Amino acid sequence: MNDVTEKLSKMLEILKEEYDAEYKSIETEYKNKFEDVKKKIERELEEYREKRLSEAKTEADNIIKVAESKAELILRQERLKLKNLLFEKILAGLKRQLLNLPMERKKYFYQKLYLDADKIMDEDYTVVCNPNDKEMILEIVSSKVVETDESIEGGIVLRGEHVSIRNTVDSFLEENKAKIFALILEEVGELQ
């Protein structure tokens, strides 16, 4: 039995050696696969992180561009408001100056307003003006009936049966607004 025991013992030893060798081979194979999977996951995580960072940077850049555009738009709107406010103040100042011209210059200005309106009126009319300007208007249009109306600040209205032509200080400024603005911009330059 010794011989059988010895053969069994040798067989067990050979099996144990084969088992150990197989175990080490499988262990090495799985360690290698584990390392490969680990490297792949780390690579994928790094790629994902870089992709997310790139997307976040792009998103941040877009947010900044939108914010800059909005800020520029608000700035342009504020500049435009300031320009309009300045032009309104200039027009109001011009209106005051035209309404308070010295009598001779005012008469000449109103005569121009009257002649411009008279050129386009093709029917009989009555001249309407502010009560404070009636005497001066009578000197300009002695052959027409002159009436007064408190609502007319300055200038004249030719009132016919079918048509009325307003040639007041306000209408004069409105008609010449583009020229006035061009002169202002020519004089002071574009407002920044």
CA–CA distance, 186 with 192 (Å, rounded to integer): 14
pTM of the model: 0.60
Q: What is the pLDDT of residues 133-174, one digit of tens each?
A: 999 999 998 788 999 999 999 999 999 999 999 999 999 999
Query: How many residues comprise the chain?
Result: 192
What is the average pLDDT score of the chain? 88
Q: Which residues of 80-118 are buried (b: 16+ CB within 10 A; e: fewer)?
A: eeeeeeebeeebeeebeebeeeeeeebbebbbebbeebb
The CATH architecture that domain 102-188 belongs to is 2-Layer Sandwich (3.30)
Distance (Å, whole) CA 164 – CA 153: 17
pLDDT tens, residue by residue, 52-69: 999 999 999 999 999 999
In the predicted model, is pLDDT for residue 191 greater than 70? no
Mean pLDDT of 112-127: 91
User: Any idea where the domains of the chain sit in the sequence?
Assistant: 1-100, 102-188
